[in-house]
Amino acid sequence: QITLKESGPTLVKPTQTLTLTCTFSGFSLSATGVGVGWIRQPPGKALEWLALIFWDDDKRYSPSLKNRLTITKDTSENQVVLTMTNLDPVDTATYYCAHRPSISASGKAGFDYWGQGTLVTVSS
Amino acid sequence: DIQMTQSPSTLSASVGDRVAITCRASQSIGSWVAWYQQKPGKAPKLLIYMASSLEDGIPSRFSGSGSGTEFTLTISSLQPDDFATYHCQQWHSWTFGQGTKVEIK
């Protein structure tokens, strides 16, 4: 059974750096085609895709946030870390990580398992 | 960057109604679209992938169609558990639509 869980600070001050960790189980991020993504959702607003890391360490970022984001993986620890710099109150949101299956193996292009999300508030 | 324009933003309907939600992509993306259902305080749930493939465990009243730039999620007979917000996502560069809230009429 695949599970994911986000962890990190709940309150961050403006201009600070946010580090979020996604700890997962039930799959390996070294398996061909597999990826883990980060998505956020400000209160009452739409989902926004942030970043995606693949089994081969290929990394993709939202063009609008690319300069502020870094995504890394620790395959042995089953973790993916997202770092976002220069936080602003508009970055207040629930942050989710999600599993991206191998499309060639499953035919599935979608995030099929999600963490519960973690609310991050940016405020002084 | 590919944009997804989702409509309507809110949809009022009754149990038993047939409802349709549309997403339009800013450029052709083949069948690379997923649809999700989200309830308040919960993570999104994958319903449809590759525009028309039903995720395991999802009731058959949900269906997806379309290709290129126009995509539709249809619920054939709305059930009480279906009142939620629905999101489309394109899988060329992973952007989401703005969401559609399906509420009780």
For A68-111, how does the pLDDT look when each residue is reduced to its tens digit (9 = 90+)?
999 999 999 999 999 999 999 999 999 999 999 998 888 899 99
Tokens of B74: 């249809």
Measured CA to CA in angstroms, residue A124 lies from A13, A15, A79, B42 at distances of 5, 10, 29, 27
Give the closest-approach CA distance of A48 to chain B in angstroms: 6
Residue of B nearest to A51 (CA): B94
Spatial contact of A119 and A96, defined as CB atoms under 8 Å apart: no
Q: Specify burial of residue A60 (Cβ count, 10 A radius: 0-12, 13-18, 19+).
A: middle
**Secondary structure in 3-state letters for A28-80:** CCCCCCCEEEEEEECCCCCCEEEEEEECCCCEEECCCCHHHEEEEEEHHHCEE
Count of positions (residues) in chain B: 105
* B53 interfacial to chain A (CB closer than 8 Å): yes
Element (H, E) at A105: helix A103-106
Rounded CA-CA distance A81/A16 in Å is 16
pLDDT band at A65 (very low <50, low <70, confident <90, very high): very high
Task: Let me know: does B101 contact B49? Beta carbons within 8 Å.
Answer: no
Closest CA to A97 of B2, B84, B57, B43: B43
Task: Look at A109 and B49 and tell me if their CB atoms are within 8 Å.
Answer: yes
- Distance (Å, rounded) from C-alpha B6 to C-alpha A19? 31
Residue A15, classified by CB atoms within 10 Å of its CB into exposed (0-12), middle (13-18) or buried (19+), is exposed
In chain B, the N- to C-terminal Cα span, in Å, equals: 36
pLDDT at A104: 87
Structure confidence at residue A105 (pLDDT): 87
**Predicted confidence band of residue A25 (pLDDT cuts 50, 70, 90):** very high
**Tally of CB atoms within 10 A around B24:** 16
pLDDT in tens, B22-77: 999 999 999 999 999 999 999 999 999 999 999 999 999 999 999 999 999 999 99
Are B46 and A37 a contacting pair at CB < 8 A? Answer: no
Give the pLDDT confidence score for residue B53 in this predicted structure: 97
